[in-house]
Chains A and B, each alone.
Chain A
Amino acid sequence: MTDQVIQPGHTFATVTDKIASIVLTRPIGRGWLVLVVITGFLTIMLSTAVGYLLAVGVGIWGVDVPVAWGFAIVNFVWWIGIGHAGTFISAFLLLLRQDWRTSINRFAEAMTLFAVACAGLFPLLHLGRPWFFYWLFPYPNTMKLWPQWRSPLVWDVFAVSTYATVSLIFWYVGLIPDLATLRDRSRHRVGRVVYGILAMGWRNSARHWHRYQMAYLLLAGLAAPLVVSVHSIVGMDFASAQLPGWHSTIFPPYFVAGAIFSGFAMVMTLAIPLRAVYGLKDFITARHLDNCAKLMLVTGLIVAYGYSSEIFLAWLSGNEFEWYMTTNRMGGAYGPAFWALILCNVVIPQSLWFKRVRVNPKTLWIVSLVINVGMWLERYVIVITSLHRDFLPSSWGMYYPTIWDWATFIGTLGFFLLCVLLFIRVLPAISIFEMRELVHETSLAPAPAAAEGGK
């Protein structure tokens, strides 16, 4: 059973109707409504925190010298990392012809967009005067100034804005045929008009599909290296500094692996309840859970290698500041955060070696929540412990997040979940046309396991 990517017995019509019905005909459930209200309140809390920040300034946050990066950068790196799994699933797995990607790519891409939106908020607010954000871009100005092209922070502006734009284009191109399906299936005038405008007159023409498939493949080919570049550049934001704990060449690759690790954990955190609530177990099968769990295990091991390499190189360098940072990270004031991160990211994910953990939705969901927490702690440890005690003991200090730090962070969690909830009800959470294609392919070449499952 676990070898299947779609349960047998589905036709072009049944996959279309099943996925479209979630958007078009399913009544609004009480549970969905309760969640929308809760996440809506959290979103209001976010806008209150942002409004107060704009009125008063970043002094409401816990950032101060020496820890000037605080929660804002921790949350930025965490959110943008979560987004990376969406692009990884859509682009890399498409190029590698992994047919199991089909039923999870659409909402993983949506998750990417919402996560990037949350991520982008933090460095903007951290600017101090966010309304001058456009100073980061090269534009003709009265001061005749240009951005500093040699700074990774400027690279980051271009990387993140390109990433957000390309993710949006990729997602929209993937949606066009499904928007046409919704336009044709909708029995409501508003639905027909809105989906009709968004579908732009798509009519499933073979001439159109021919160019469409080329464009989609090219976008996948472009998005794949883009993902690697974005988190590498985020890694370089740290690595190009002289600070012990940041100044390390392992950062770009280990940040990319960490991003995909946390992103898959978030995909599982969302997919497991989604398939249970909306009856999508035929499409998101045990095989999907198993494969995602294996990818979490692999990227988790790469991340664990990154941690050990950092410690080993700090020792090998013989540099007293590097070695002090390492011992302070493990045994200093923030030591508990470090050991909690090792527990969440290295120890607990080892349970994924066991198939029973991988294919059981409940245990897998718990492990993925733990990994989400662990990856947040990882960024917290990297940012805070490195900054709080650097070269000069006279400039050491502690970092204490304020209630506004927490309100902003928890607010983005609410905003993210609100976007996901709304997305599930207004757009097809699974790519309908790719599922039809999958029905066609599996009917042409029935896998040995498909025959077993039919019994």
Chain B
Amino acid sequence: MTAAKSHIYGLLAEFDTPEALIAAAEKVRDAGYRRTDAFSPFPVHGLAAALGLQRTRVALITLLCGICGGLGAYGMMWFSSVIAYPFNIGGRPPHSWPAFVPITFELTVLGAAFGALLGMLALNGLPQPYHPLFNVQRFADHASRDCFFIAIDAADPKFELSDTRAFLESLQPQHVSEVPR
């Protein structure tokens, strides 16, 4: 890594419409950059494909947590009424499964909801107290309002400050700025 690379986080290009952002993201992807990210004040349909993102694992985590919740709930009720404290209530069998369905359902949902929340946060690397992008004033003011950005990370193997800058300029952005660390 050269000295020029180490003191900056990367380059940030600004666009004014979601359509321009998607078009630019496709060109960045086709140019072979991999450590890239795009920023939009709302989820833009088609942007994930333009960046070449894979399917997320959030759904899988949610499913697994839901299964754990459901099995845990049913197992707990089975254990307590069959093994730990069998008790005859109105002649019902200890393992009266229909009565166990509602709580099994509730705890499946509870487990899955925690899976969706924590899975999403963990895969996104949140909470994150500091990020270099907020050093760019335009980003801090407008990324959550009305502007669209593409960042190319200096750690990308294809990243070369002047070449990458020239490449981003060729995408006709509003601005290109260096992101200090």
Contact = CB atoms under 8 A, between A and B. Distances in A.
Nearest to A155: B102
Contact of B124 (A11, A12, A145, A212): A212
B120 A206 contact: no
B7 to A, nearest CB: 21
A94 B119 CA distance: 21
B129 interface: yes
B11 interface: no
B42 interface: yes
Given A146-B80, A150-B96, A158-B107, A204 B39 contact: yes
A221 B78 CA distance: 28
A152 B100 CA distance: 10
A206 B150 CA distance: 9
B144 A181 contact: yes
Contacts of B30: none
Contacts of A333: none
Given A218-B112, A233-B102, A184 B144 contact: yes
Interface in B128-142: 128-131, 133-134, 140-141
B18 interface: yes
B32 interface: no
Contacts of A202: 126
B114 A169 contact: yes
User: Of A152, A206, A229, which is in contact with the most chain B CB atoms at under 10 Å from its CB?
Assistant: A206
Contact of A218 (B58, B84, B121, B131): B58
B145 A150 contact: no
B103 to A, nearest CB: 5
A166 interface: yes
From B106, B129, B140, B143, residue with most partner A Cβ within 10 Å: B106
A174 to B, nearest CB: 11
A16 interface: yes
B58 A184 contact: no
B146 A222 contact: no
A339 interface: no
A436 B133 CA distance: 22
B123 A211 contact: yes
B99 A149 contact: yes
B37 interface: yes
A214 B58 contact: yes
Contact of A214 (B56, B134, B140): B56
Nearest to B49: A210
Nearest to A157: B103
Chain B's interface: helix, strand, loop or mixed, by majority? helix
A165 B128 CA distance: 24
A206 B44 contact: yes
Interface of A: 11-13, 16-17, 138, 144-146, 148-150, 152, 154-155, 158-159, 162, 165-166, 169-170, 172-173, 177, 180-181, 183-185, 200-215, 218-219, 222-223, 225-226, 229, 233, 433-434, 436-437, 440
Contacts of A440: 18, 42, 44
30 contacts: A12-B41, A13-B145, A16-B145, A146-B85, A158-B103, A158-B107, A162-B107, A162-B109, A173-B120, A181-B144, A181-B145, A184-B140, A200-B128, A201-B126, A201-B131, A203-B143, A204-B41, A206-B38, A208-B124, A209-B43, A210-B43, A212-B120, A214-B56, A214-B59, A215-B62, A215-B119, A219-B116, A222-B66, A222-B116, A226-B106
Contacts of B141: 184
Q: Is the interface of A mostly helix, strand, loop or mixed?
A: helix
A154 B89 CA distance: 15
B154 interface: no
B9 interface: no
B127 to A, nearest CB: 4
A218 to B, nearest CB: 5
Interface string B39-75: 1111110011001010010110010001000000000
B39 A215 contact: no
A180 B127 CA distance: 12
Contacts of B40: 204, 206, 209
Nearest to B150: A206
Contacts of B129: 201
Contacts of A223: 113
Given A166-B110, A210-B56, A440-B18, A180 B144 contact: yes
A144 B84 CA distance: 8
B109 A166 contact: yes
B166 interface: no
B105 interface: yes
Contact of B134 (A159, A203, A208): A203
Given A149-B80, A201-B129, A215-B58, A210 B110 contact: no
Given A184-B144, A225-B109, A437 B116 contact: no
Contact of B127 (A11, A145, A154, A200): A200
A210 B53 contact: yes
Contacts of B96: 150
Contacts of B121: 200
Given A155-B102, A202-B126, A206-B37, A218 B42 contact: no
B109 A226 contact: yes
Contacts of B140: 184
B131 A203 contact: yes
Nearest to A178: B144
B77 interface: yes
B81 to A, nearest CB: 6
